[in-house]
Chains A and B, each alone.
Chain A
């Protein structure tokens, strides 16, 4: 049982480039979410999904897009990378929303030059 898998683990981009961070879970969880973690600021919610075909914005959605075509996958797209998006990105999933224990991936460390 792999749990929540995030790829890549590390990535360096140049300003203006685009990329997709991948997140997959094999626990048949309906709720999935993306966070960014910056020093001293805790985790901030970017986007979340309550099921396939349904997504919504979190606290800091600007510059990011998501889609949820399957229960298993929830990719996060950076449209035009900016240095302010340098961060560690975490994907999480749970069976029934934020009201149940969350399962986190190991994160993607992203640097934008």
Chain B
């Protein structure tokens, strides 16, 4: 059974600092990995999708890396802003299903 872990569960940083969010998974036989953002009381918004054959994916200030063999992905958010405050979840796909981590809740202090 795929287990997805995100550490830490919560993170608080001052505005302007770079954010580093971690995701680990136990079964490396994945098809891809997705990063999502969730605002309080809302659904999830897809941020980045990395195919298993890729090493990284970038979108604006966001960069996600994937090391499939070691079961790890990292989401980098450059020059954080108060609007980046949210919960970030990662999910891996295999066997036609997505397995989610519990998320990291980020607070960016102005």
Contact = CB atoms under 8 A, between A and B. Distances in A.
Interface of A: 4, 33, 35, 40-45, 48, 50, 56, 58-59, 90, 92, 97-107
B5 to A, nearest CB: 10
B44 interface: yes
B89 A90 contact: no
A5 B62 CA distance: 28
A11 to B, nearest CB: 15
Interface string B7-44: 00100000000000000000000011010100001111
Nearest to A58: B97
Contacts of A97: 93, 96
A42 B100 contact: yes
A92 B97 CA distance: 12
B1 to A, nearest CB: 8
Nearest to B47: A101
Given A101-B46, A104-B43, A42 B98 contact: no
B75 interface: no
Contacts of A107: 41-43
Interface of B: 4, 9, 31-32, 34, 36, 41-46, 49, 89, 91, 93, 96-103
Given A42-B102, A43-B98, 5 more contacts: A42-B4, A42-B101, A92-B44, A98-B97, A107-B42
Contacts of B97: 45, 48, 58-59, 98
Nearest to A4: B43
A90 B98 contact: no
A100 B48 CA distance: 10
A108 to B, nearest CB: 11
B43 to A, nearest CB: 3
A99 B100 contact: no
Contacts of A104: 36, 43-45
